Amino acid sequence: MIHSLFLISNAGDLFLEKHWKSVISRSVCDYFFEAREKAVEPDNVPPVIRTPHHYLINIYREKIFFVSVIQTEVPPLFVIEFLHRVAETFQDYFGECSETTIKDNVVIVYELLEEMLDNGFPLATESNILKELIRPPTILRSMVNTITGSSNVGETLPTGQLSTIPWRRAGVKYTSNEAYFDVVEEIDAILDKSGTAVFAEIQGVIDACVKLSGMPDLTLSFMNPRLLDDVSFHPCVRYKRWESERVISFIPPDGNFQLMSYHISAQNLVAIPVYVKQNISFFETGSSGRLDITVGPKQTMGKTLECLVVTVHMPKVVLSANLSATQGTYNYDPVTKILVWDIGKLNPQKLPNLKGSLSLQSGAPKPEENPSLNIDLKIQQLAISGLKVNRLDVYGEKYKPFKGVKYVTKAGKFQVRT
């Protein structure tokens, strides 16, 4: 099981350690630093590193490496999932998960880690339960605590801890009862030079914010559940009812949580809302090149494309870019070699265009690799897969809650090859 955890900043500063069994010297991290060195980019550090006596399983999130040490055969996915959960908990507690916030809240962090794992076995990882055990810091609470001398550690056993619905605490009370659902879809796609999709799929999630009193039992149904053949549910969802009736029936956790995620595979036809016409070329001589990119709407179902951003990873030899954009602003960072063109809202009548010349390091040969483009975009009020929520019913409680569903489509890993 998980033996120890080290938090290491991007700069290589080991700023927190926690051991759940015997203490392991931090020198074990030297193997990590070695791998980190070799990988050049922090993203490329291998997730599992073998050392003579231990295994280091690490994740890289928010510019922090979470490095765990294990000594016996443990499912690596288990460890990785847990580490992500730790990062999410920090985010949840402190608003962001960064070196500064962790250092600022080091005692709470330590208490949290102790509550989350016992002897390497996960103990309490549900945010609802943790918040009952250890209250998140707020300015108001720390003032109250200082005045009254009370603590931010719960004195009683969390109610949800042992019930068959460990994700919800008992005795929740709200004056206004609300349940909101966000259907968020991300399109992952690779388009080839000519603009046809080599591969496209949709990753969807339904995020929920449920603030309902008591023990409500909810049923969410869809207009077109047949779209969903590959789903992952929050533990609260009753799988049997999904199997038989294609409705989502659950007693929700209190507050924010991800109800389900789904995946609409490459085999279904995925609508591509945008097209890109591009021409990036480098001349054989003269150390220069040309760039010409136009973006236009494709299958947008009548909605507007917003927050459109085009990112180009240029070859190393590109020194600067002298371009003009008909809409939005562009910025070329000569250090990271990334060109970002922030377009904003897409106007179908007047398509945005970015055009101009690139100057290369003099004397350098023509770059061999083709740069590739990344697209970011957002479409409000649309789930590109066509998924629609039909209704939400509340059982077990008498009140009438406010209900709402929002749809949004974004570009995920949306890549255009040149």
Partner 1 sequence: MTDSKYFTTTKKGEIFELKAELNSDKKEKKKEAVKKVIASMTVGKDVSALFPDVVNCMQTDNLELKKLVYLYLMNYAKSQPDMAIMAVNTFVKDCEDPNPLIRALAVRTMGCIRVDKITEYLCEPLRKCLKDEDPYVRKTAAVCVAKLHDINAQLVEDQGFLDTLKDLISDSNPMVVANAVAALSEIAESHPNSNLLDLNPQTINKLLTALNECTEWGQIFILDCLANYMPCDDRESQSICERVTPRLSHANSAVVLSAVKVLMKFMEMLPKDLDYYGTLLKKLAPPLVTLLSAEAELQYVALRNINLIVQKRPEILKHEMKVFFVKYNDPIYVKLEKLDIMIRLASQANIAQVLAELKEYATEVDVDFVRKAVRAIGRCAIKVEQSAERCVSTLLDLIQTKVNYVVQEAIVVIKDIFRKYPNKYESVIATLCENLDSLDEPEARAAMIWIVGEYAERIDNADELLESFLEGFHDESAQVQLQLLTAIVKLFLKKPTETQELVQQVLSLATQDSDNPDLRDRGYIYWRLLSTDPVAAKEVVLAEKPLISEETDLIEPTLLEELICHIGTLASVYHKPPSAFVEGSRGVQHKRLPARAVITLVKRTGLSGSNMGAGLGVAPAAMPASLGGAPAVGGGLGDLFDLGGGVGMPTGSYVAPKTVWLLAIKAKGLEISGTFARRGGIIQMDLSLTNKAMSVMTDFAVQFNRNSFGLAPAGPMQVLTPLSPNQTIDVSLPLSMSGPVMKMEPLNNLQVAVKNNIDVFYFSCQYPLSLLFVEDGRFYRQVFLATWKDIPNDSEAQFQIKDIHLNSDVASNKLQGSNIFTIAKRTVEGQDMLYQSIKLTNGIWVLAEMRIQTGNPNYTCTVPRIVYASLLHSQ
Query: Using CB under 8 A, which residues numbered 158 to 187 contact partner 1?
Result: 161-162, 164, 166
Question: CB of residue 324 vs partner 1: minimum separation in angstroms?
Answer: 27
DSSP 159: G
Tokens 């847990």 correspond to: 82
Please enumerate in sequence order all residues whose Cβ is within 8 A of that of 54, keeping only pairs 6 or more positions apart, or say none: 3, 24, 28, 69, 70, 71
Angstrom distance (rounded) from CA 128 to CA 302: 40
- The 10 Å CB-count burial string (b at 16+, else e) for 71-95 is beebeeeebbebbeebbebbbebbe
Q: Residues 10, 224, 232, 362: which binds partner 1 (CB under 8 A)?
A: 232
The interface with partner 1 within residues 304-363 (CB under 8 A) comprises: 313, 315
Contact present, 349 and 274 (Cβ < 8 Å): no
415 part of the interface to partner 1, by CB under 8 A: yes
Examine residue 265 and tell whether it contacts partner 1 (CB under 8 A). yes
Window 79 to 98, contacts with partner 1 (CB under 8 A): 80-82, 84
With CB under 8 A as the contact rule, the residue among 9, 14, 296, 306 that binds partner 1 is 14
Q: Which of 30, 63, 170, 198 binds partner 1 (CB under 8 A)?
A: 198
Nearest residue to 172 via CA among 213, 211, 216: 213
Q: Does 393 bind partner 1 (CB under 8 A)?
A: no
Interaction with partner 1 in 275-304: which residues (CB under 8 A)? Answer: none
- Considering only 149, 171, 302, 363, the residue that binds partner 1 (CB under 8 A) is 149
Binding flag, residue 261, partner 1 (CB under 8 A)? yes
Interaction between residue 44 and partner 1 (CB under 8 A): yes
> Count residues contacting partner 1 (CB under 8 A)?
103
**Closest separation between CB of residue 402 and partner 1, Å?**
26
Complex with partner 1: residue 267 or 349, whichever CB lies closer: 267
Stretch that binds partner 1, among 105-113, 212-220, 285-293, 392-400 (CB under 8 A): 105-113
Q: Is residue 144 involved in binding partner 1 (CB under 8 A)?
A: no
What's the closest the beta carbon of residue 176 comes to partner 1, in angstroms?
Answer: 29
Q: Write down the H helix ranges in 134-202.
A: 139-148
Of 124 and 212, which CB lies nearer to partner 1 in the complex structure? Answer: 124
Q: Which stretch binds partner 1 (CB under 8 A): 57-65, 168-176, 217-225, 325-333?
A: 57-65
Return the structure tokens found at 18: 């926690």
Q: Which position among 9, 24, 26, 290 is part of the footprint of partner 1 (CB under 8 A)?
A: 26
Whose Cβ is closer to partner 1: residue 289's or residue 297's?
Answer: 289
Candidates 219, 221, 258, 353: give the one binding partner 1 (CB under 8 A).
258
The distance of closest approach from Cβ of residue 64 to partner 1 in the complex, given in angstroms and rounded to an integer, is 13
Among 12, 37, 47, 345, contact with partner 1 (rule: CB under 8 A): 47
| Interface with partner 1, residue 402, by CB under 8 A | no
**Least Å distance between CB 255 and partner 1?**
17
Coil, strand or helix at 234: coil
Q: Which of 37, 110, 279, 399 binds partner 1 (CB under 8 A)?
A: 110
* Whole-number Cα distances in Å, 58 to 111, 164, 243, 295: 21, 32, 36, 39
Choices 229-237, 272-280, 286-294, 351-359 (CB under 8 A): range interacting with partner 1: 229-237
